[in-house]
């Protein structure tokens, strides 16, 4: 029975991961390409140069292809909260559902309203109205990301809520606390700027293909010039927002930070590992083997990155399990055993509360609720058995984090080189450079996926940090049902991806087109 339960957990996780990873193939291009095409149209409106209209319309078509398929995968992912994660939805649906509802009612309808004007209103509304519709469509897509990321961030740092033992549900008591969570703000900024980077990589790479084929040279140069500047600025913003995210992780999810760095023993003035190899000989978190070997270290940088102090103490995996160190807020960290004891105490208090409720013993109910409230912070630890259960997959998270950072540095360099070579009008002389720009498109996709691996695998085993572990969040389904739907989704999503690549490829080969409908004398006024 335990094996079947574990299998159900793994397959449920795999199905959601499949949907999320496919969805994130489309979202970053939508957000990044959207801003770029809006900037291109802004230049067209400001200058009146019809060449910029031609540039805008080409990238807008690619935006539309990607946008349509991204919506399909996103809707399926939201449905899975009810089908595969019903315990999670029941336990926190009152809170988690609010941002998703706002996303659907406000942001999605905003996109749906203005996207038709953006695509079909070129010769039907004024330049200013059309430009406004483009920016509003992009704004709607960005607002969609905002509300979804607020929901995700609440899972990383649950706040603005109160547990109701009468319903055994968490209820929102402070909407603003949920919306303005520092984790939510940083996650939104970091995710959106990463999408901007990918949009810039896409535009630069496709434009490089045109230069390689010696087609639409003026169009390609205009696109590269704008996208390389936009991409360079976006990478700088990613570095800034990434630093903010690291500080939030250090304060609220210290285990995730320790796993990201392969840090087992905490220290003051902790170094940041540039790259290294996770030691395959390390079998237990508390054995004597070194966690990372052949490491290139930047002295004291981890302490500075996490706490803004080069000499600050950064706890390692062993310290977080054992507890006893002083946290940034001045309190003493509890050990796993102490958190587990509090979690079990909270669960027992809930059980006793329900018994007292059945007999209408209000005095006992009040007593048990007081115990529950005092220990609810670590409610989820009562479901864990061993210290190893709270440690995420170190090799997976470590390598994902470091390769993501390395790719970010490479993106900064490639945008600078592309801009310089384009400005000097020498880019077409170096075919190898054009091929590099093209090959950086899949690397942009890879960086985005690695970022989500760090964010989501790094917080394991938690569906909601410290409150609900993954294995308690799933629905009571037959494992075979989840396997079947996993296969169906894999086939469906792969088919959609192939279709999108095929349609996009045909549109790219066709290239930018002149405005199909000549302007009448009336329309020019």
Give yes or no: residues 403 and 377 share one domain. Answer: no
Question: Cβ(346)–Cβ(308) under 8 Å?
Answer: no
pLDDT at residue 521 above 70?
no
Q: In percent, how much of the chain has pLDDT > 70?
A: 97
Beta strands in 381-467 (DSSP E): 462-464
In a domain, 520, yes or no: no
The CA distance from 147 to 330, in Å, is 33
- Does 92 reside within a domain? yes
The answer to whether position 435 is within a domain reads: yes
Select from 108, 99, 196, 106 the least CA-distant residue to 149: 99
Distance between CA 19 and CA 456 in Å, rounded? 14
Q: In the prediction, which pLDDT does 438 show?
A: 96
Answer yes or no: do 460 and 365 share one domain.
no
Cβ atoms of residues 250 and 260 within 8 Å? no
CA-based angle 358:88:319, to the nearest 5?
Answer: 100
What torsion do the CA atoms of 296, 302, 304, 307 make, to the nearest 10 degrees? 180
Q: Which residue in this structure is represented by tokens 């995730």?
A: 256
CA dihedral of 400, 405, 410, 413, whole degrees rounded to 10 = 170
pLDDT at 145 over 80: yes
Q: Give the per-residue pLDDT at 6.
A: 58
Of 189-198, 299-308, 471-480, which range is least confident?
Answer: 471-480
pLDDT score for 514: 58
State mean pLDDT over 178-191: 92
Number of domains in the chain: 3
Average pLDDT of the residues of the chain: 90
Provide the pLDDT for residue 515.
52
The encoded tokens of residue 147 equal: 């509300």
Whether pLDDT at 508 is above 90:
yes
Same domain membership, residue 377 and residue 308: no
Residue 416 covered by a domain? yes
Model pLDDT for residues 10-56, shown as the tens digit of each residue:
899 999 999 888 888 888 999 999 999 999 999 999 999 999 999 99
141-145: average pLDDT:
89
**Residue span of the structural domain in which 302 resides:** 258-281+289-322
Q: How many helices (H) and strands (E) does the chain have?
A: 17, 8
Q: Would you say 274 and 297 are in contact if contact means Cβ atoms under 8 Å apart?
A: yes
Phi and psi dihedrals of 511, rounded to 5?
A: 80, 175
- In the predicted model, what is the mean pLDDT of residues 298-317? 93
Q: Is residue 488 part of a domain?
A: yes
Q: Check whether residue 248 and residue 262 sit in a common domain.
A: no
pLDDT in the model for residue 516: 47
Looking at residue 512, what is its pLDDT? 87
- Average pLDDT on 361-370 reads 94
pLDDT in tens, 409-449: 999 999 999 999 999 989 989 999 999 999 999 999 999 99
- Shared domain check, 467 and 357: no
d(CA 427, CA 457): 40
Supply the pLDDT for residue 522: 45
Do 176 and 301 lie in one domain? The reply is no
Residue 2 has pLDDT above 50, yes or no: no
Q: What are phi and psi of 500, to 5 degrees?
A: -65, -45
- Residue 217 domain-assigned (yes or no): yes
Verify that 496 and 350 share a domain, yes or no. Answer: no
pLDDT at 103: 83
Other C-beta atoms within 10 Å of 282: how many?
18
Confidence of residue 476 (pLDDT cuts 50, 70, 90): confident
With a cut of 60, say whether residue 89 has pLDDT above it. yes
pLDDT for res 520: 47
Alpha carbons 459 and 89: distance in angstroms, whole number = 19
Same domain for 460 and 433:
yes
Whether the pLDDT of residue 4 is over 80: the answer is no
Mean pLDDT of 150-163: 92
Q: Do residue 311 and residue 436 come from a single domain? A: no
Same domain as 398, residue 427: yes
């Amino acid at each position: 029975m335990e094996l079947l339960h574990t299998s159900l957990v793994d397959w449920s996780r795999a199905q959601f991961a499949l949907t999320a990873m496919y969805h994130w193939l489309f979202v970053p291009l939508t957000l990044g390409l959207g801003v770029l095409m809006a900037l291109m149209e802004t230049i067209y409106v400001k200058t009146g140069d019809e060449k910029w209209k031609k540039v805008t319309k080409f990238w807008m078509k690619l935006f539309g292809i990607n946008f349509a398929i991204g919506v399909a995968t996103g809707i399926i992912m939201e449905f899975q909260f009810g089908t595969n994660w019903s315990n999670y939805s029941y336990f926190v649906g009152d809170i988690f559902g609010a941002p998703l509802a706002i996303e659907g009612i406000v942001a999605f309808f905003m996109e749906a309203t203005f996207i038709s004007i953006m695509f079909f209103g070129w010769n039907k509304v004024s330049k200013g109205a059309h430009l406004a519709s483009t920016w509003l469509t992009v704004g709607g897509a960005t607002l969609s990301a905002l509300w979804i990321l607020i929901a995700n961030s609440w899972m990383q740092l649950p706040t603005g809520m109160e547990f109701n033992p009468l319903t055994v549900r968490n209820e929102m008591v402070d909407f603003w606390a949920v919306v303005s969570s520092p984790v939510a703000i940083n996650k939104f900024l970091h995710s959106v700027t990463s999408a901007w980077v990918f949009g810039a990589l896409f535009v630069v790479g496709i434009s490089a293909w045109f230069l390689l084929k010696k087609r639409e040279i003026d169009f390609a140069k205009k696109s590269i010039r704008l996208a390389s500047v936009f991409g360079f600025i976006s990478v700088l913003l990613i570095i800034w927002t990434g630093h903010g995210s690291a500080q939030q992780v250090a304060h609220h999810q210290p285990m995730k930070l320790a796993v990201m760095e392969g840090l087992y023993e905490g220290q003051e003035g902790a170094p940041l590992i540039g790259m290294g190899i996770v030691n395959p000989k390390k079998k237990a978190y508390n054995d004597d083997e070194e966690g990372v070997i052949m490491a290139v270290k930047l002295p004291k940088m981890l302490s500075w990155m996490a706490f803004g102090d080069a000499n600050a103490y950064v706890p390692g995996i062993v310290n977080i399990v054992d507890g006893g160190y002083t946290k940034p807020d001045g309190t003493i960290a509890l050990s796993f055993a102490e958190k587990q004891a509090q979690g079990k105490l909270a669960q027992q208090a809930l059980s006793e509360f329900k018994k007292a409720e059945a007999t209408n013993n209000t005095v006992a109910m009040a007593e048990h609720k007081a115990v529950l409230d005092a220990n609810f912070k670590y409610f989820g630890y009562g479901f864990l058995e061993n210290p190893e259960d709270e440690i995420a997959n170190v090799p997976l998270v470590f390598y994902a984090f470091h390769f993501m950072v390395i790719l970010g540095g490479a993106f900064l360099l490639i945008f600078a080189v592309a801009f310089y070579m384009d400005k000097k009008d020498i880019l077409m002389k170096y075919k190898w450079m054009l091929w590099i720009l093209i090959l950086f498109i899949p690397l942009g996709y890879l960086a985005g996926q690695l970022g989500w691996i760090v964010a989501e695998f790094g917080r394991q085993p938690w569906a909601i940090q410290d409150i609900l572990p993954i294995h308690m969040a799933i629905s009571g389904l037959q494992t075979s049902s989840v396997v079947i739907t996993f296969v169906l989704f894999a086939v469906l999503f792969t088919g959609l991806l192939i279709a999108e690549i095929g349609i996009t490829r045909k549109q790219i080969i066709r290239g930018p087109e002149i405005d199909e409908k000549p302007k009448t004398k009336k329309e020019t006024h």
